[in-house]
Structure 1
Amino acid sequence: MERTSTSQLAVALRQFRKHRLAVWGGRILLVLYLMAAFAGFFSPYDPNYYELYPPKGHHPPTRIHFVDPETGRLTRPFVYATKRSIDPVTLQPRYEEDPSQGKFYVRFFVRTPEQPYTIFRVFRSDLRLFGVDSPGRIFLMGTDNFGRDLFSRVVYGGQVSLTIGILSALVSFALGLLLGGIAGYFSGRPFRLSLPPSAWRGVGLLLGPLSLLLWLGVAAAALFLAFSFARLSPGKDPFSLGIDALVVLLGVLAAGAILYRLFREPIRLDPDDLIMRTVEIIAAIPSLFLLISLRAVFPTNIDPLLTFYLVVGLLGFIGWGGLARVVRGIVLSVREMDYVQAARALGASDGRIIARHVLPATASYVIVSLSLTIPGFILGESGLSFLGLGVTEPYTSWGLLLQAAQQGGFASFTDRPWVLWPGFFIFLSVLSWNFLGDGLRDALDPRRRQ
């Protein structure tokens, strides 16, 4: 009997299908990303569209009727127009259906030339999945305080929140793979830094100038602290003046010693120590505090599109340390393998060995870790936007929508709970990514396969 061999991809795919939660997580994410990619088609209105009169602020979800009240039979889905009044007790807007204006049937694949949109900022269209004729309005999830359709804003908000999660993860993993691979492969092989440089090879070309700037910065900091102490010292008596002169002298001596060693004696620097100490410094600072501090360096009134890329860069910058640690450990073990030693004996360069033999060994871990890291970045962006430091108008994100919801206080939970829909989508996307990551981990790890 002839036996057919099965590829590793087929085995992993079969194992992944056995994880029901991972399969459903992938399906949910596929739907969310498709809706975000074609947000203009799935949303009935432009996310920033609202009417000044009649106002629609905090309009509850529109009730869709499937039974004709006159005949009692099933009919095409339709909605009624609403009329607005003010509750005399709570002073909150109150909306009631107004059948006197007639029925407004829900139509599919409608054209909205007054509200066009673009797909991927390339193709222009005005075709939408559903809608109703004016003056009727259909709000599947109600409206916000300005009367903007919340369903349309949630769909468009997914473009930002879901995209930032992936882009930030890619930035983080690029830094983590590069620096973790360098730290692991060159561990125990310090290079000499001297001026002028005699032989900077491989990693020395990257870390040599960086370490030079680091030592120059330390020398400048010593001088700055010494002169700042002398300038801010309140005492004018001879003893205080003597202390100031001593501090300045020590600062000058410290800066001189650093510069003397830097320019006269070669410095031995281990890339592993430099990178891992940087990771430890970043890990010692709480992530949210570091993220807010870095964001506070930039002005809050910069261009909204620039803010989007700024948030991507900040999230990626603070998230690469954990991956770099694990990649370093994997590379430390892989670099001693026979095939790596054989490539080195045949004269392969360090860059070729890292790219062709070392980093591919981390592929399975990277894929799993990527799927488990993306939800963390989605939560990070939501937290920044909720605090008012993330994406700004006219763009929107799920965190920004939650910020607008919390402005109503407890009324958001009692009088208008529909404004909390963005929180449900954050929960759904994070949970789906976690399920997908668990399934990929079971599928790609031979020890977990059933």
Structure 2
Amino acid sequence: MTTIPTPAAISAPETERYYLASQRQLIWRKFKRHRLAVVSGVLLVALYALAIFADFIAPYDVNTKFTNFLNTPPQVVKWIGAGGVRPYVNGYTRTNDPVSLAFIFKPDPNLKLPLRFFVHGERHKLFGLIPTDLRLFGVQDGQVFLFGTDSLGRDVFSRTVNALRISLFVGLVGVFLSFVLGVFLGGISGYFGGLTDLIIQRLIEFLLSIPTIPLWLALSAALPPTWSSVSVFFGITIILSLIGWSGIARVVRGKFLELREENFVMAAVISGATPSRIILRHLIPSFSSYLIVQITLLIPNMILGETALSFLGLGIQPPAVSLGTLLQDAQNIRVVSLYPWMLIPALFVVLIVLAFNFVGDGVRDAADPYKQ
């Protein structure tokens, strides 16, 4: 258990700053002591920055095919030997397997391709608005495949970076709507009780009884066929967020039933506070750590849901890319055994889910007034 420094152990100005600090400053101080949460937070910021600037960071377009480099293994970035200390990759020599006639790529130590930054490449629209051909890195002669290529010769790194954009952002709207609906309806149910509580709880039980996969299939068939795959998935996400608020609503209801008879709530009622003020200013802040846990679980669950559904062919469809669609190429065990780099998108899924959970743990511990 982490202990708070005693006034004798720190100087007087620091003691004064500590006791005069606001709640946010105290939460931030405790959060910084959770090193794993801080590292995870930095990782998530880096991944979201990678997703936002995906068109600029990726050296190629997601659908660019290199027919002479099918299933090419990843290239290793080296720093010494290319005219001094500068990054470079070795090119590949291609041969044919005499039995399977498949291409075999081997690094050529004599073929060194220096990596150049801020190079001109394929044209794209930065943030979907600004047309440009500037890319973060590339090579002048040849190609660079940091994560290798797939069976069609497309750069896996470029596709993975662009896939992060959909997988990271597609669930935020759904999580926001689910959180707002869950807190609102759960708060009303737990605070007022009676017939209102009965109706809302029966509605929650009905929603929880609906099978998820058949619902996705029905929604996929019901949305207009003229919509793009991304628009269809956003539509399904919004609709499911209107249904998926039931879990957090039950958590909020249980806490309201526990806290509505507490002395501070009764004092607020006696002083003439309105129900909305009691809920927003007294009840919800008193168990904010529980809500933080729910949010940090909802976001990775939404990402995992998108990944699983796209993997099954029910979510994002090609030519759009997400982490789930990239993993469709790794469904065959033979493909995984021969080309293990096709599982790199799965590593990003694991990192994202773990990072959200660690950040949630850190913020929960920092916001818990009973945990030092």
Conserved? CA contact 2:123–2:134, under 8 Å: no
Distance 1:126 1:440 in 2: 41
- Tell me what 1:367 maps to: 292
Give me the TM-score of the superposition, normalised by structure 1.
Answer: 0.71
2:368 matched to which residue of 1? 445
Identify if the C-alpha distance between structure 1 residues 63 and 26 changes in structure 2 by more than 3 Å, giving closer, same or farther: closer
1:181: Cα distance to partner?
A: 1.6
| Cα distance between partner residues in 2 of 1:318 and 1:295 | 16
| Residue 132 (structure 1) aligns with | 139
Aligned partner letter, 2:337? T
**Aligned mates of 1:275, 1:48 — CA distance in 2:** 47
Quick one: distance in 1 between partners of 2:25 and 2:224? 51
CA contact (8 A) 2:330 2:336 kept: no
Quote the Cα distance in structure 1 between the aligned partners of 2:79 and 2:282.
62
The answer for the alignment partner of 2:105 in structure 1 is 95
TM-score of the aligned structures, taking structure 2 as reference length = 0.84
- Note the alpha carbon deviations across 1:348-375, whole angstroms, 9 max, x for none: 6555554454444453322232122211
Identity %: 43
Which residue of structure 1 aligns with residue 26 of structure 2?
Answer: 11
Are residues 1:30 and 2:80 paired? no
C-alpha separation in 1, matches of 2:125 and 2:28: 38
Structure 1 partner of 2:173: 167
Write the distance in 1 (CA, Å) between the matches of 2:225 and 2:95.
38
What is the root-mean-square deviation of aligned Cα atoms in Å?
2.9
- Pick the aligned partner of 1:109 from 112, 118, 121: 118
Mapping of residues 84-233 of structure 1, within 5 Å: 84-96=94-106, 103-112=112-121, 114-119=122-127, 121-134=128-141, 136-188=142-194
Distance 1:311 1:91 in 2: 44
Q: 1:169/1:158 Cα in 2 relative to 1: closer, same or farther (>3 Å)?
A: same
Q: Which amino acid aligns with 2:152?
A: F
Shift of 1:336: 4.0
Cα deviations by residue, 1:27-52 (Å, 9 ceiling, x for unpaired): 1111111111111222111112224x
**Matches of 2:216 and 2:236 in 1, distance apart?**
9
Aligned partners of 2:69, 2:107: CA distance in 1, in Å? 13
Task: Report the residue type matching 2:124 in the other structure.
Answer: P
Question: How many pairs does the alignment contain?
Answer: 357
Give the structure with higher Rg (CA). 1
Q: Deviations over 1:304-331 (max 9, x none)?
A: 2312312422442443111001111223
Task: Report the CA distance between 1:300 and its aligned residue.
Answer: 6.8
Aligned positions of 1:189-338 closer than 5 A = 270-288=195-213, 290-298=215-223, 302-337=227-262
Moved more, 136-145 or 372-381: 372-381
Verify the 8 A CA contact 1:107 1:131 in the aligned structure 2: yes
1:389 pairs, out of 295, 308, 314, with 314
CA distance in 1, matches of 2:81, 2:72: 24
Q: CA deviation at 1:290?
A: 4.4
Amino acid at match of 1:164: V
Deviates more, 1:102-111 or 1:74-83: 74-83
8 Å CA contact 1:22, 1:436 repeated in 2: yes
Tell me what 1:427 maps to.
350
Instruction: Report SS of the residue matched to 1:106.
Output: strand
1:17 and 1:99 map into 2 onto residues whose CA distance is 45
Residues 156-183 of structure 1: CA distance to partner in whole angstroms, max 9, x if unpaired?
1111111123222112112211211221
Aligned 8 A contact 1:76 1:105 in 2: yes
Q: Which runs of 5 or more structure 1 residues have no equivalent in the other structure?
A: 189-269
After superposition, give the CA deviation of every residue in 1:184-212 in whole Å (9 maximum; x if it has no partner).
Answer: 23312xxxxxxxxxxxxxxxxxxxxxxxx
Change (3 A) 1:288 1:445: farther
Residues 300 and 389 in structure 1, CA contact (< 8 A), matched pair in contact too = no
Q: Deviations over 1:345-401 (max 9, x none)?
A: 676655555445444445332223212221111111100100011112232110110
1:59 equivalent in alignment to 2:59 = no
Q: Which runs of 5+ in 2 are unaligned?
A: 1-11
Q: Is the 8 A contact 1:295 1:314 kept in 2?
A: no
* 8 Å contact from structure 1 (residues 340, 353) kept in 2: yes
Q: Secondary structure at the match of 2:88?
A: strand
Shift of residue 22, structure 1, vs aligned partner:
1.1
